[in-house]
Structure 1
Amino acid sequence: MAMQQGPGQPVPVRFRGRRGDLALLLLRGYLLLVPTIGLYRFWLLTWKRRFYWGHTDIDGDSLEYTGNAMQLLVGFLMALAVFLPLYGLLFYLSTLARDAAIIGYAGIALGLWFLSGYAIYRARDFRLSRTLWRGIRFDQTGNGWAYGLRRFGWSLLMLATLGLVYPLMATSLWRYRYDHTWYGDRRFGFAGRWQQLAAPFYVTYAAIVLIGGTGATLAISMGALPDGGPVEPLAFLPLAAAALIIGPLTLRYQARQLSLFYSSVRLGDAVLTVRLRGRALLWQYVLCGLALLVAFAALALGGVVVLGLVAREAFAGGGFDADIFFQQMQGSLLTLGAIITGYLLLLGAFTAITELFIGLGLWRLLASSASIAGVESLRTVRARAEDKALAGEGLADALNVGGY
């Protein structure tokens, strides 16, 4: 039952999902990826979305994700119709002269970057059309090709200005997305202005340039780029120190931008407010880094034990025979299996830990820092028909630019 609130009183957004439950979900999905040669990822992605959506409450009612894995699989197979000729073109370019091949690869890279903008917009359309709240479906109109062209044009300006037009680009893209987003028969709006973002962005930009430039200058002066001599390891300390400062600055800016822009989203009389703190976002990355260190250390220890078992004859007699060790390594099927297993475990650990701490962490932080005023005005929204023309996320999945 929905919570009763007074007129205009802000309603908090709550996320009830637990990291342990998501970890079990991911473990089950990863175990099924191997026998299905990776195809089970569409089912895993569907489980994840139902986890995130179903544990997110607004005014006491949770979101609902109605998409299914077969839709994602069909969309991916349709995207292969685009990529199979592309792979043939890449093979053909590899047979040409170097200059022609470089020009061809550059053209393909630009084409893929343009297509990624279209794919991002189309994937968002699919997710919204399969998202319900109180039985009413979200939707997205607009044109994916127009969004892709807009994003591509802004990207060129970003390169030409060394990123200085970012506040204008971000505002333009956010406005296009939300001006074409619907909840039932009610349209979203975006009241954000690039001037809101200008001061925090340019201050952060200048700080990063200053700190990064200082770190690079000190590193070079200490011998990071030796002239024919040995590399001085201590010379990289200024670069490491600069990175440790730039990372938190970047996350602080990211939190500021998300707070400003999400707080500029409107749905009629309903107003969203988000107050995301940079240190809370930084803490998620710190936890993620610590978890990765522990996981990789455990996997490395396991790898040493396996290698010791495979090449135990090389350690016979209390010594170590390198020739016997490499012979056993080269001629053992167990070694090949251990290498493949180790690679899959490393990849799985990295993917799972980043999902548990960065993906889940950001979702939880956004939910816990969000509130909606005027939510009672949404009781008069009427439903619209589901957009059944969309078949999965297609290019977004193939280009790995989808979200959650």
Structure 2
Amino acid sequence: MNQLEGVPSPAPARMGAIAFDRRVPGLTGIVVKGFLLSLITFSIYRFWYITNLRRYFWSRTIVAGSPAEYLGNGKELFLGFLVALAILVPVYLVLFVIGLLSPVLAALAAPISFIGLFVLGQYALYRGRRYRASRTRWRGIRLGQDGSGFAYAGRASLWWLGTLLSLGLAFPFMRAALERYRIDHTLVGQSRMHSTATGRSILLPWMMFYIVGLLPILLSILALLAGTGFDIPSDLLIQDPASEKSKLIFNPAYEDTPLVYYASAIGIAASFSIPLALLLIPFYRARETRAFLNATHLGGARLISSLKARQFYFPYLVYMLAVIGFIIVLGIIFALLVPLIAQDGENAGIHAFIIVSTVLLYLGAILGTNVLYVRIITVRLWHAVATTMQIENLPALEAVLASTRAPASGLNEGLADALDVGGALEIGL
């Protein structure tokens, strides 16, 4: 007789759903208001615009029956941006003065500036995420992030150096290592999240992207270097004597050398690889997002994602078709204005009307594409990630205790905005 007969089996862990309502009433008004006020305030209002977008998307994301909250405000972001500028402007001035005073150091100013700003940008990315986490709340529980921005910047810089030296092969391992650092220092109340992300989990989608998008270009460049004995002539590209603009052309002196074929191979490889690589970006992003979400734990609770690559492709396809249709409409409107110029081209009033109409069409095109991008791409990607995600062992999440930890300063994200490495919304964790 089976000894387990009659013994009740353990109940399956209760699952928690994550939902996002793709019907987004009022979102167009937020985008239009944000665009117009940012325009007339010389982009100052964008901090409040970003805040309004985050509040909207956070509030419509329902985790286990309760909406998330975003507690940040535009004033914090604006003041953080001003403080960041007060730090960065003297740095730029010092580099500029050094370049003027020393011709030797002037040649080093550009690479030093690039490296310094890159490291600072990685620091800003981490600190910006800390700000967003500390301004996020769910069921009265505030999120947070500890860890060191300098440690993250150092790790990111070394990983990027390794990625460059490996010709891109280390990229998935870099992404996984940085993801682990971010998630392992993310706090939900008094509990800490944990990530088991590995580079192997995203190695296959990256290799597909790498082989199609990067490898042909790298091989053609290596062939060029080998063909020149790793000594490319400094006059391989010269200014076109037939053009008044600074247009570079291939030096005719090398037309009968193998360099022509190697250079042509690079051009041909790039013309095929770059478009194919662009087509694979949504595939890689979807696979990476799913892998990283599935590797995320909070105590006994964990995330389970069933995100498909097609859910990342469809928004971009719809957006492309919508933009094409929008451009056709603008083209028809502009075509209707052409007869006015032909009928009375010398009339000052007609000239003013045409100028004003052209400016309005230009601004309308930018506004229209912004609205389409947010409503089609951002909304659909957010919906895809949220609704394909579940929380395994929900009681473990519900047992999380709130924390009295103080929120982070707005300077955390101000530096990211000043360096243009921060985004209004980020899909995923």
TM-score calculated relative to the size of structure 2? 0.76
Alignment of 1:117-136 (within 5 A): 117-136=122-141
Once residues 60 and 36 of structure 1 are traced to their aligned partners in structure 2, the CA distance between those partners, rounded to angstroms, is 39
- The number of residues matched between the two structures is 373
Match of 1:384 in 2: 403
Deviation at 1:97, TM superposition (A): 8.5
Match of 1:368 in 2: 387
* 1:22 is aligned to 2:41: no
Deviations 1:81-129 (A, max 9, x none): 0232244356547857987544312221211111111111111101110
Deviation at 1:79, TM superposition (A): 1.0
Partner secondary structure for residue 188 of structure 1: strand
Alignment of 1:98-117 (within 5 A): 101-117=106-122
Residues 1:94 and 1:203: Cα distance change in structure 2 (over 3 Å): same
What amino acid maps onto 2:371 in structure 1? A
Once residues 354 and 240 of structure 1 are traced to their aligned partners in structure 2, the CA distance between those partners, rounded to angstroms, is 27
Alpha-carbon contact 1:211-1:246 (below 8 Å) kept: no
Residues 1:288 and 1:240: Cα distance change in structure 2 (over 3 Å): farther
Match of 1:65 among 70, 74, 87: 70
Once residues 169 and 360 of structure 1 are traced to their aligned partners in structure 2, the CA distance between those partners, rounded to angstroms, is 28
Once residues 125 and 276 of structure 1 are traced to their aligned partners in structure 2, the CA distance between those partners, rounded to angstroms, is 26
Match of 1:354 among 355, 358, 373: 373
Partner secondary structure for residue 167 of structure 1: helix
Once residues 245 and 48 of structure 1 are traced to their aligned partners in structure 2, the CA distance between those partners, rounded to angstroms, is 32
Residues 1:380 and 1:273: Cα distance change in structure 2 (over 3 Å): same
Once residues 275 and 359 of structure 1 are traced to their aligned partners in structure 2, the CA distance between those partners, rounded to angstroms, is 19
Partner secondary structure for residue 13 of structure 1: strand
Once residues 30 and 328 of structure 2 are traced to their aligned partners in structure 1, the CA distance between those partners, rounded to angstroms, is 23
Once residues 349 and 276 of structure 1 are traced to their aligned partners in structure 2, the CA distance between those partners, rounded to angstroms, is 29
Residues 1:120 and 1:308: Cα distance change in structure 2 (over 3 Å): farther
> Which range moves more in the overlay, 148-157 or 336-345?
336-345
Partner secondary structure for residue 34 of structure 1: helix
Once residues 332 and 107 of structure 1 are traced to their aligned partners in structure 2, the CA distance between those partners, rounded to angstroms, is 49
Residues 1:92 and 1:150: Cα distance change in structure 2 (over 3 Å): same
Alignment of 1:222-237 (within 5 A): none
Alignment of 1:204-219 (within 5 A): 204-209=209-214
Once residues 339 and 99 of structure 2 are traced to their aligned partners in structure 1, the CA distance between those partners, rounded to angstroms, is 42
Match of 2:47 in 1: 42
Deviation at 1:194, TM superposition (A): 2.0
What amino acid maps onto 2:158 in structure 1? G
Match of 2:288 in 1: 257
**Structure with the greater alpha carbon radius of gyration:** 2
What amino acid maps onto 1:174 in structure 2? E
What amino acid maps onto 1:260 in structure 2? A
Once residues 402 and 20 of structure 1 are traced to their aligned partners in structure 2, the CA distance between those partners, rounded to angstroms, is 26
Once residues 123 and 316 of structure 1 are traced to their aligned partners in structure 2, the CA distance between those partners, rounded to angstroms, is 56
Deviation at 1:132, TM superposition (A): 0.6
Match of 1:397 in 2: 417
Once residues 87 and 334 of structure 1 are traced to their aligned partners in structure 2, the CA distance between those partners, rounded to angstroms, is 43
Once residues 366 and 292 of structure 1 are traced to their aligned partners in structure 2, the CA distance between those partners, rounded to angstroms, is 24
What amino acid maps onto 1:272 in structure 2? L
Alignment of 1:5-404 (within 5 A): 8-19=13-24, 21-89=26-94, 92=97, 101-209=106-214, 242-305=273-336, 309=340, 312=341, 315-316=342-343, 341-392=360-411, 393-403=413-423, 404=425
> Which range moves more in the overlay, 30-39 or 57-66?
30-39
Match of 2:262 in 1: none
Once residues 81 and 308 of structure 1 are traced to their aligned partners in structure 2, the CA distance between those partners, rounded to angstroms, is 52
Once residues 268 and 208 of structure 2 are traced to their aligned partners in structure 1, the CA distance between those partners, rounded to angstroms, is 25
What amino acid maps onto 1:396 in structure 2? A
> Which range moves more in the overlay, 71-80 or 382-391?
382-391
> Which range moves more in the overlay, 15-24 or 49-58?
15-24
What amino acid maps onto 1:270 in structure 2? A
Match of 2:228 in 1: none
Once residues 337 and 71 of structure 1 are traced to their aligned partners in structure 2, the CA distance between those partners, rounded to angstroms, is 36
Once residues 94 and 352 of structure 1 are traced to their aligned partners in structure 2, the CA distance between those partners, rounded to angstroms, is 43
What amino acid maps onto 2:184 in structure 1? D
Once residues 83 and 255 of structure 1 are traced to their aligned partners in structure 2, the CA distance between those partners, rounded to angstroms, is 35
Once residues 152 and 251 of structure 2 are traced to their aligned partners in structure 1, the CA distance between those partners, rounded to angstroms, is 48
State, as a whole percentage, how many aligned pairs show the same letter: 31
Structure 1 stretches of 5 or more lacking a match? 1-5, 217-224, 230-235
Deviation at 1:343, TM superposition (A): 4.6
What amino acid maps onto 1:263 in structure 2? N
Deviation at 1:243, TM superposition (A): 4.8
Residues 1:213 and 1:111: Cα distance change in structure 2 (over 3 Å): closer
Residues 1:342 and 1:155: Cα distance change in structure 2 (over 3 Å): farther
Deviation at 1:151, TM superposition (A): 0.8
Once residues 279 and 126 of structure 2 are traced to their aligned partners in structure 1, the CA distance between those partners, rounded to angstroms, is 29
Residues 1:302 and 1:94: Cα distance change in structure 2 (over 3 Å): farther
> Which range moves more in the overlay, 274-283 or 133-142?
274-283
Deviation at 1:401, TM superposition (A): 2.0
